[in-house]
Structures are given as structure tokens and as C-alpha cells.
Structure 1
Amino acid sequence: MRLLITGLGGFVGQHLKSRLEMRFPDCEILPGIPDIRDARAVNDSIADGRPECCIHLAAISTIGKARQSPDDTWAVNLQGTLNLARAMLQHVPDGTFLFASTAEAYGTTFQRNTPLDENAVLSPANTYAATKAAADLALGAMARDGLRTIRMRPFNHTGPGQSPDFVVPAFASQIARIAKGQQKPQIHVGNLDAERDFLDVRDVCDAYLDVVEHRLSLQPGAIFNVCSGQTRSIRSILDNLLRLSGVQAEITIDPARLRPSDIPVAAGDASRFRTALGWTPRISWNQTLNDIYEDRLKSV
């Protein structure tokens, strides 16, 4: 199998590569595309490589960076996705295009306070979510024109190697610095009351690879939520990290870390994916937190 993975050097991409090598040792990973905004380069790469499957991870993936650079975010997250999808449809019409969308696209629909399935309305509440939702919808339309696309909507996922721009490694980094005497015993936080469905990135990568393995049996245009079905408060994650580290610290609210459009609870329903492929998270939350903390201890 020839496989193209965009964003292979990123957080999810690095974990996906490791899982891929374990599950499909004979898979050929094609050379990456330096800039998916370059339509000609994308077209030439796919025409030459003719991947049987493209896993599209590359994106501007943080809400903060998307807010700071909206034009670039639209160019990468929407136009870059369309460049890839059009090239796949033209040169490898029988190939599968797996798109890593996001549950952030549901946005304010989470205010219904019920776990959302794939039929929930997309109502993005920030630039990052809007660009991903637009790409998600565009691919759905292209599926009617013959694109063999599968759209994955993962909820929050974390793990070792994730940037401290994200909440769990941000907490772990501060706690690790305190443990090493590099920071006063004071942790700066944003909204601790928000509840999110968190997954280990390695479980999410396995979900993507399950789709790759069974891609020919899946309906083009299919959408799958990827979530555990259990929400956790941000406060509980901080408490768990402090407990496993043995660190004691004062908690201080930092206004700069508060998001103006925070959704109180984001809960999802992944029963469609479980029914289709039998996927379920396998890595315990305690293991995830321990691996993140150990990773940050080495990094700070």
C-alpha cells in the first residue's frame, strides 16, 4: 500500500507513523508535500506518487494561532485541503482521502447539553473550527462527485510530544518546572470548569488506521466521531497531574488564558464508529497523563 500522510512531522503525524509501522510494516510512505497551499506542487506529487490512501493531518491546529493569522489559516485548512482532494479525485479516483476534521466544528451546538452524534449541526465558534468545518462540508459535496473521502471528527486528543500550547501539556510543563525548582509553586490556568472529552492520541491514530484497513467497505463521504463518550473537567485533569507528580502548588487564574467563546461542556457520541469498525479507546487516562508528565520532565 502506498500512503501519503500530510503533517507527518507534527504531533499526531509522529504518533501515526509509529502506529503505522507496527500495523502495516510493508506500507510505503510517500514523500511529503512541503506546502499544501501550492496547488501545482500538490497536483504533481499526487500524480507521481498515486497514493492508494491519503491521510490529511496538516493544518493550523491551535485556536490561538488561527485567531492571530486568519488568512493563512483559511489558506491552509480549507484551500490546502481542496488542493489535495481535487488532485486525488483527478489522479487516483479509486484512492481514499481520510480527512482529520475536528469536533470543534460542532461549536455552539454543544450548548444543547447532550452528547452529539454526526448528525449534529456544524456551528463553529472560532476561526480554526470554521476553516475545518468549511473543509469538512466541501469534502462531503465532493463525495457526491466521486471523491472517496472519509471524514473523521476527533474530540480533544493529547499525549506525549504535544506542544504546551494545549492544556494538558501546558499544565504538565508548569508542574515539571516546579518539580525541578525552575518555577515558583504557582500554576497559571484558564477556565477550569469547562468539560471536554479527552482521548489519547495513540487511540486516535489507531482509529485512523482502522479506517485505512477497512476503507473499501466504507461509504464515501462517511463521517465518524472519535471520542470516549466521557467528559472530564479541566480542573480534574490538573488535580490528577498534581497528584501523580506529588507537587503542591497555588492555582492562579490568568486572564490571558481565558477563551471568550468557551463552550461549558463538549460531549460526543461515537456509537456509529464503534458499530462500523468496533473501535474503542484502549489506553487508560492515567497512562496518558503519566506519559505526558514524564515527557515534559525530560523537556523542561
Structure 2
Amino acid sequence: MPRALITGITGQDGMYLAELLTARGYEVFGLVRGQANPKAPAVRRALPSIRLLEGDLRDLPSLIGALERSRPDEVYNLGAISMIRLSWRQAELTSEITGTGVLRMLEAIRIHTGGDMAKVRFCQASSSEMFGKVRKAPQTEATAFRPRSPYGAAKAFGHHITVNYRESYGAFACSAILFNHESPRRTEDFVTRKVTRAAARISLGLQEKLVLGDLEARRDWGFAGDYVEAMWLMLQQDEPDDYVVATGESHSVRDLLDVAFARVGITNWEGHVQYDPRHARPEDAQVLIGDASKARTRLGWAPRIGFGGLVEMMVDADLAAARREATGRA
């Protein structure tokens, strides 16, 4: 039975990846920070076979201890402070966890394996936010990084240090350059979930207004469940490498609003949406759209769920939750 350790297991990617690995016969371990982590009970309910280990990406000894207890064949580093707007207010903490945390995990693997890093295969969840102020689209593995946020800069460090350990220590280390990916498990802090939840609640009279920033901001949005499969495929190859994981389609927040509100039967959403410049980022990446040709060719990977299907899936889940809320109020 193969064994895997996942950092960030309480997030949407961690949950989907744990489900995928469990279905494939893995023994899965998840790293959580603190014994009283508020998200841990949800993981235990959804995935009772998962073993949770205490550890912190800011604490090297705890990572070594987690590796000694789990003895993994594969490590997936998904842990990060992933809110881009928050990274401006907590830039140092973001760099410590999202950036230097990658170095600590790689160093922990080096120590755990006695320097023979190829014994444990490693996947780093990199981000399209590393591209930032892009000069051309779509972006590939060869596109230069010009991050425009502390989050993007921290992810760029994590990406580069992963490459460094691969080239310097012979680590089987891959970076998955993940473009935006969403799901019904996405937290309400992200614009996709904020929109789908509001559409559901407004349609039932539970909410009147939705406050947003730039409606013309564009992203390449895919389904998180598809993207974790790409990460697993990377670690099944003969040689480690880096791969863009994306749909190759660009959509605006306005497009997101169109699909979400149409799903609940509202064709004129403008009267429900209010612009607030405080929701805009100090600096924002330009048009991000990924070219996943390498992943399609070498990994045989392709996204199964398109933009429209993704948004409708999220709205349906939020509509079910909103109906339960409405029933509880009655």
C-alpha cells in the first residue's frame, strides 16, 4: 500500500486529493497545525480513514517528525496562506508559510531520507499568480515570473527552491503551476464562492446585495477535483518536471455573475451587485490564461469540467445550503 502525506489537507485541494488517493489504495496522512484545529473534525467526518498528524510549515522539527511517523512515498505540499488580498496585510507570515515553508518541507525530506531525496516523491502546489504582470498570453512553463502580490512572490520562491532541490540533490520534486481552481468546497472569502453563494441566497430572499471589486478581472478557472489528479499524475512519471495545469480559457467576474445568476433564474443581476473599490487588490495580475499542452501530452491529463459546469455545480451546492437555511428560519 503506497503512503502519502498531504499538507493543507483541510483545504479544498487537500480534501479532493485525499479522496483520490484513498480511492487508489493509498494510506493517507494529513498535516494539521495545532491539536485543536477547527477544520480537522470536518476532515475526519468526510475521510475517516485519514490519519491526521500535527505539524507546522514554520517548524522544521515538526515536519521531520511527521515524515518519521508517516514514512510516505509521496508528499504533496498544498499548505499555504492562499488569500491574495490577505497577503498584503500579512506579508511576512505569507512569506514564512507559503514561501519558506516549502524550503522547510524539502529540507525535512532531505534529512528524513538521509540525503537520498529520490526516495520520497514531492509535489509543490505552485500558482499562476507567480506570472503576475505578464507580457504574453497564454502562459507556459517557460513564461517569466513577475508576481504582483506577496502571495505570488512567496509562491515563486517555493517554485524556484523546488527546482533547486531537484537539480542540486536529485530530488524527485515537481511543481504544479496551478491556475485558479474552484469547487463547492472553496471558502466564502474567494470571489467565485462569494458570487455563487450570493446568487443562491438572493434567489431565496435571504440576501439583497452582493458587494464586489473589479468585475472585468479575468482568470482561467477550473475544477479543483480535476487539478489534484494532475498533481498525482506528475508523481507517477519516470522523471520529475514542472507542469502548467489550466483550462486554457479566460473568463471575467462578469461572466461568472452571468452563469451563476442564470442558474437561479435571475437574468438581470446588475441591480443586486454593488461595486466597492475596497474589494479591489492594491496590485492585480493581468490576463492569466494557461497553456497546459505539456500536461496534456506527457501526463495524458485534461480537465473534465468546464467553466459553466463548474459554476453551476457551485451554485447548486449553495442553493441546497440556502434552502436548508431558509427552512431553519421558517
Distance 1:34 1:48 in 2: 11
CA distance in 2, matches of 1:264, 1:81: 26
User: Retained in 2: the 8 A contact 1:189–1:252?
Assistant: yes
Q: 2:27 aligns to what?
A: 28
Tell me how far apart the structure 2 counterparts of residues 158 and 199 of structure 1 sit (CA, whole Å): 6
Q: CA contact under 8 A between 1:6 and 1:32: conserved in structure 2?
A: no
Answering whether residue 95 of structure 2 is matched by residue 74 of structure 1, we say yes
**8 Å contact kept, 2:76–2:122:** yes
Gaps of 5+ in 1: none
Instruction: Find the partner of 2:306 among 259, 284, 290.
Output: 284
How far apart, in 2, do the equivalents of 1:263 and 1:151 lie?
A: 20
1:224 aligns with 2:243: yes
Q: Distance in 2 between matches of 1:99 and 1:72?
A: 19
Q: Which runs of 4+ in 1 moved over 6 A?
A: none
Provide the residue aligned with 1:46 in structure 2: 67
What is the aligned residue count?
Answer: 291
Alignment of 1:44-123 (within 5 A): 44-92=65-113, 93=117, 94-108=119-133, 110=134, 112-123=135-146
Q: TM-score by structure 2 length? A: 0.84
Which among 246, 249, 252 is matched to residue 265 of structure 2? 246
| Deviation by residue 1:52-109 (Cα, 9 ceiling, x = unmatched) | 100110110111221121121111112221111111122232111100010100111x
Shift of 1:41: 1.0
Aligned to 1:10: 11
Contact between 2:85 and 2:281, CA under 8 Å: does it hold in 1?
A: no
Paired residue type of 2:146? S
Deviation at residue 276 of structure 1 after TM alignment: 0.9
Is 2:147–2:285's contact at 8 Å kept on the other side of the alignment? Answer: no
The C-alpha deviation readout for 1:238-259, integer Å capped at 9, x for no partner, is: 1111111113431321111112
Contact 2:233 2:299 (C-alpha < 8 Å) held by counterparts:
yes
Determine helix, strand or coil for the equivalent of 1:265. coil
Query: Are 1:5 and 1:29, in contact at CA under 8 Å, matched by a contact in 2?
Result: yes
Q: Distance in 2 between matches of 1:232 and 1:245?
A: 20
Output the CA distance in 2 between the equivalents of 1:42 and 1:27.
Answer: 20
Equivalent position of 2:210 in the other structure: 187
Task: For 2:277 and 2:55, locate their aligned partners in 1 and report how far apart those are by CA, in whole Å.
Answer: 37
Mapped partners of 1:195, 1:204: distance in 2: 19
Within 1, Cα distance between the matches of 2:286 and 2:102?
A: 30
CA apart distance, 1:16: 1.5
